[in-house]
Structure 1
Amino acid sequence: MNAVHVERPKNADLPALVFIHGASGNLLDQLVAFRARLEGRAEMLFVDRPGHGYSERGGPQNTVPSGQADAIARLMEKRGIKKAIIVGHSFGGAITAAFGLRHPDKTEGLLFLAPATHPWPGGIDWYYHVATVPVIGWLFNHAIVVPLGLRRLERGTLNVFRPNPRPADYIEKTGPSLVLRPRTFHNNAADFKRLLAYVKEQSRLYSQITAPTVIITGDRDEIVWEHLHSRGLARDIAGSELITIRGVGHKPDYLATDVAIAAMEKIAGKPHDLQAAARRAEERLVAPLRDPAVQIQPSLMPGALHRV
C-alpha cells in the first residue's frame, strides 16, 4: 500500500490521524485539504486505498470496505501507529465505519465527512457496470475511459464541489486523472458495484460502534444524500454528534476544514462547540456570495452517488 506518513512531532497535541479518501480519488485529496493545517500537531497517515492511487489491489477481500479497513489496520501496524482517529470522506466513510467495527482497539475516534454508509434508492452509473464486464470491460477501460474521462474531468470535479466553488488548483494538486488508468478504473468500478449490497448488510451493525464519533455533512450534498447517510449514522451510533453545515455540498473537508479539525480536537478531549463552529463556517462561506463581483460556476453533472 502506498501512503504518506508524517511522523509524530515532538509537541503533538492530537492523537495520530489516518485519512481515507473517497471513490475516484487518491490520498492527495485529503492530504491537500489537511496536511498544512495540521503540520506539527499530529502524526498523520494519508493512504491510497487498495487498488487506488499507487497502491496495489491485493486479494479479493479488498473489493469491499471491510477488507480495505483491514488493510489499513495492517499498514498502521507496520508504521508503528497503535491507535488513531480515523477520518473518512465519502466512500471512505464506509471503510471508516468498518474500521470502527473491526478494529476498536486501534480506534481513538471516528470522523465522517460526507460519508457513504447506508443503502440508497436506485443504482450507479452505467459505465461502472461496463467497466467490470469480462473482455468488454477490458476494451472499454483501455480504449474509451481515458479520452472520455479527460473530457469530463473539469465538469466532474466541479460537480463534486457543487454548489460551492472548486479551488482553482484542485485538479493540479490532487491528480484525479489517476483514476482513469485502466486497472484503477476497473477497481473503482468494482468498489461501486459492491457498495450497495455491502452497506445493506453492514449498516445493521453500526449500533455496535462505541468509539467517539462526529459526522460532518453539508445540506446541499447531491452526491451522497445527507438525509440517508449522515443522519442514518447519527441515528445508529449512540453518542455520535451530527454537524450539518448549511449551503455546503459534498466537500466539507475543503469548505469547512476548520470544523473538521475542531471535531478532531473534540474527539481528542478538547472542549469545543461544533455547532457554533459550523455556524461560523456558514457565515464565512456566505460572505463572498454577497459580493456581486463573485460568480460561482454551476456544475453540468447532476445526480446522486456519481462519485463517493
Structure 2
Amino acid sequence: MARQHDLVACVASPKALLLLILSRIGLLLLVIFLLLVAVLAALAIATEIRARGIEARTPNIGERTDVGGYSLNALHVPAGPNADLPPIVFIHGASGNLQDQTGAFLEPLRGRAELLFVDRPGHGYSERGGPENDTPDGQANAIARLMEKKGIDRAIIVGHSFGGAITASFGVLHPDKVEGLVFLSAATHPWPGGVDWYYHLASAPVIGPIFCHTLALHAGMMRIDAATEHVFAPNTRPVDYVEKTGPQLVLRPSAFRSNAKDVAGLHAYVTDFAPRYREIAKPTVVITGDADTIVLEEIHSKGLARDIEGSELVWIKGLGHKPDYIVTDIVIAALEKIAGKERDLQSMARAVEPRLAATSVDPGGSAPSLQAGQ
C-alpha cells in the first residue's frame, strides 16, 4: 500500500516524480561505480601478482649504485688481461632493459674491454629518480655519474633505438667522457606523426597510473611474442630472445609509466636538442637498415650522419630494427674501428645483405612505433 501511495503522490506531483527518478539513477550509478572499483581492484591485485612473477623469472643480474639520491642498476664486467678495446657503455632502447644488450654483446666482448650494461632510469631494476630523468639529457647525466662511480673515465657509448637519443645527448653534454659513439637504429630527430596512443595515456596524470596498475600488463602479455617478432622483422627473432632478455619487465606498472613518459616526450625533446648534435666531434659510426619498421632510418640515421662531422653511416639493405642481434659482427667491427683498428664496415655490410635477403620474413603483427601516424 505504501508503494502505491508513493506512486500516486508522484503522479500527482511532477517534482516528486523527478526526485524519485533521480534517486533511482543515483542508486544505479553508485552500484556501477562500486562494481568498477571492484573490477579495478581485482585487476590491480592481478597486476601485482603477475609483476612479481615476471621479476622471479627475470632476476636482476646487475648491481644497484647510488647516483645522487636514487640508484641505477648495471652489470659491470671488468676487462681481461689482454683487453684490446677501450671501455664500452651500452644504453638500451625503449621498452628494454640491460639484458637486451648483454644478450647480444656480453659473450662476444667478454675480456676484450671493460663493459657497462645499464638499466636506464625507471627501467629494469633501476629507480626512476626525479623528473629530470623524463628526458634523454637527464638520463645521460645519470649514466655519466654512474661511470664516475664505476671508475670509468672515458668509454665508447653505444645506444640502440631510444638509447640513441641518450647517446647523442651524452656526446654533447659529456665529451670528456667519450672515446667514440656507436648508434644502432637510433631515434634522434623529429619525425612526422607521433607515437602510439597508449604512451600518452600511460604518461598522463591520474588516469595514467590507473591504466598502468590495472590493464597495461595484462594487455601487454598477450602481445609480447608478436611485438618482439615485429621489432626484429623482417629479420628473424632468436627463439630464446624473450626468455633470455625479459622484455616483460617493462610491463610492470612503474616501468611501463617510465617508458611511456620517455617515448611520449621524445619528439619535443629531439626537436629542441637535435641542432646541438653538430657540437659532437668524436669518432662516430651510425648503423641502420632500410627495412626498419620502428624508426625511420631516412630521418634519424641519415640525420646523425649529416649532423656529426666525420661520422660513418653503415646502411644495410634488408636489416630491420635490431642490428645488435642481426649484424653483431659489424657492430663489434665498428667498436674496433673507433679503437683505431682497420675495418672496412661498408664491405662487411655488402657481404651480409644476401643472407638478410634470403632469411627475410613477413613482419606481420604490430609493435610500439616511433613513426605512428604516417
TM-score for both structures, normalised by structure 1: 0.95
Per-residue CA distance 1:143-178 (angstroms, 9 max, x = gap): 101110000111100110011111000000010000
Corresponding residue for 2:154? 83
Corresponding residue for 1:298? 363
Corresponding residue for 1:169? 240
Corresponding residue for 2:35? none
Distance 1:13 1:63 in 2: 36
Which residue identity lines up with residue 162 of structure 1 in the other structure?
A
Name the structure where helix makes up a greater proportion of residues.
Answer: 2
Pick aligned residue for 1:206 from 273, 277, 283: 277
* Structure with max Cα Rg: 2
Matches within 5 A, 1:1-308: 1-288=72-359, 296=361, 298-301=363-366, 304-305=369-370
Which residue identity lines up with residue 284 of structure 2 in the other structure?
T
Residue 288 (structure 1) shift? 4.6
Q: Secondary structure at the match of 1:222?
A: coil
Q: Secondary structure at the match of 1:2?
A: strand
Corresponding residue for 2:44? none
Residue 242 (structure 1) shift? 0.1
TM-score for both structures, normalised by structure 2: 0.79
Structure 1 segments (4+ residues) deviating >6 Å? none
Corresponding residue for 1:293? none
The root-mean-square deviation of aligned C-alpha atoms, in Å, is 1.4
The answer to whether the Cα contact below 8 Å between 1:216 and 1:243 also exists between their aligned partners in 2 is yes
Distance 2:305 2:82 in 1: 33
Distance 1:140 1:34 in 2: 35
Identity %: 62
Q: Secondary structure at the match of 1:230?
A: helix
Q: Which runs of 5+ in 2 are unaligned?
A: 1-71
Residue 204 (structure 1) shift? 0.5
Aligned residues: 301
Which residue identity lines up with residue 301 of structure 1 in the other structure?
S
Per-residue CA distance 1:160-203 (angstroms, 9 max, x = gap): 00111110000000100000011110000001111101000111
Which residue identity lines up with residue 249 of structure 1 in the other structure?
G
Q: Secondary structure at the match of 2:120?
A: coil
Which residue identity lines up with residue 195 of structure 1 in the other structure?
L
Distance 1:48 1:42 in 2: 19
Q: Which runs of 5+ in 1 are unaligned?
A: 290-295
